[in-house]
Amino acid sequence: MSDRLVISAQVTIPGADLSWTAVRASGPGGQNVNKVATKVELRFDLAGTRALDEDAKARLRVLASGRLDAQGRLVVSSQRTRQRERNLEDARAKLRALIERALSPPRPRRPTRPSASARERRLHEKRRHGSRKRERATSHGDAE
């Protein structure tokens, strides 16, 4: 397995920007879970990487805001399997998917106008609401 992470033909994350540690996983696994560190925490140096432009970094920060540590690194963990190597591959796939989402800029919103029938419905509903309140006010005054 190569250290670098290929995202697309244009973007490759160098291995120097990635680091990982294995820790004890929680959940099922019997005695194995107490002895073997199979959970993988993959860290991506988001602040220091030169593989992404500033716009992509900003989008990635927003997408993964809950996964950033104090040093500005993006932390992706996996404990899906009982094998450290497969968990590392899973964490790398999760990171790849996040970066792919951050690479494509969002489509700009094109403002739309309400249709004529929607405007008419809104005004009709406002008239109904106003008349209902007027009826309440006059019937309330008669009760005194």
Tell me the mean pLDDT in the region 54-82. Answer: 90
| d(C-alpha 66, C-alpha 64), whole Å | 6
CB neighbour class for 36 (10 Å; exposed up to 12, middle 13-18, buried from 19): middle
Do residue 87 and residue 122 come from a single domain? no
Percentage of the chain modeled with pLDDT above 90: 50
**How many structural domains compose the chain?**
2
Both tokens of 117, joined, read 């029938």
Both tokens of 15, joined, read 């291995």
Report phi then psi at 122, rounded to 5: -65, -45
Residue 109 covered by a domain: no
Percentage of the chain modeled with pLDDT above 70: 91
Strand-pairing partners, residue 41, are: 21, 77
141: containing domain: 115-144
Do residue 82 and residue 143 come from a single domain? no
pTM: 0.70
pLDDT confidence bin for 1, thresholds 50/70/90: very low
Do residue 119 and residue 51 come from a single domain? no
